[in-house]
C-alpha cells in the first residue's frame, strides 16, 4: 500500500515509512534522556506524542501551512502573506481609532533615559 503524505506528484511512500516516522517521533524526539528513556516511559508517553503531532497540524492549518510533514516547505509565502494582509485589513492595527482599547501596556522607555 502506498500513500502520499506530501500531496506532491510522484512522492509516494510505503505505509511502513509512516509507521517508522511515528516510531522515530516516539523513541528519538520524545523519548527523554537518562532515567526517562525507558520502555515503560515511552509506552506511557506515546499517546501524548500523537496529541502533540495533532496540535502541530492544527497550528499549521491555522497559519495556512498545509504541508503537514517533516519536509521543509517550498519558499513560497504568497498564501501566508495574503492571509496576513486580510487580517491586517480587517483589524486595522496601524490606524488610530478613537475609543479602541488594548489589553497590553507598553512603557515609553525613551522618556526614562
Per run of 10 residues, the mean pLDDT along the chain (length 113 residues) is 73 70 69 68 70 76 63 74 90 82 78 73
This prediction has a pTM of: 0.31
Residue 90 in 3-state DSSP? helix
**DSSP code string of 17-72:** HHHHHHHHIIIIISS-SGGG-SHHHHHHHHHHHHHHHHHHHHHHHHTT----SSSP
User: Which cell numbers hold the place of 81?
Assistant: 502573506
DSSP state of 76: -
User: Which cell numbers hold the place of 47?
Assistant: 499517546
pLDDT for position 67 = 56
Amino acid at each position: 500500500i502506498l500513500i502520499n503524505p506530501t500531496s506532491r506528484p510522484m512522492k509516494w511512500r510505503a505505509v511502513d515509512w509512516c509507521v517508522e516516522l511515528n516510531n522515530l517521533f516516539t523513541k528519538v524526539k520524545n523519548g527523554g534522556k537518562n532515567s526517562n528513556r525507558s520502555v515503560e516511559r515511552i509506552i506511557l508517553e506515546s499517546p501524548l506524542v500523537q496529541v502533540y503531532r495533532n496540535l502541530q497540524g492544527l497550528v499549521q492549518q491555522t497559519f495556512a501551512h498545509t504541508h503537514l510533514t517533516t519536509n521543509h516547505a517550498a519558499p513560497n509565502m504568497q498564501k501566508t502573506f495574503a492571509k496576513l494582509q486580510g487580517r491586517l485589513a480587517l483589524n486595522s492595527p496601524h490606524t488610530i481609532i478613537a475609543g479602541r482599547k488594548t489589553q497590553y501596556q507598553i512603557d515609553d522607555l525613551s522618556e526614562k533615559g
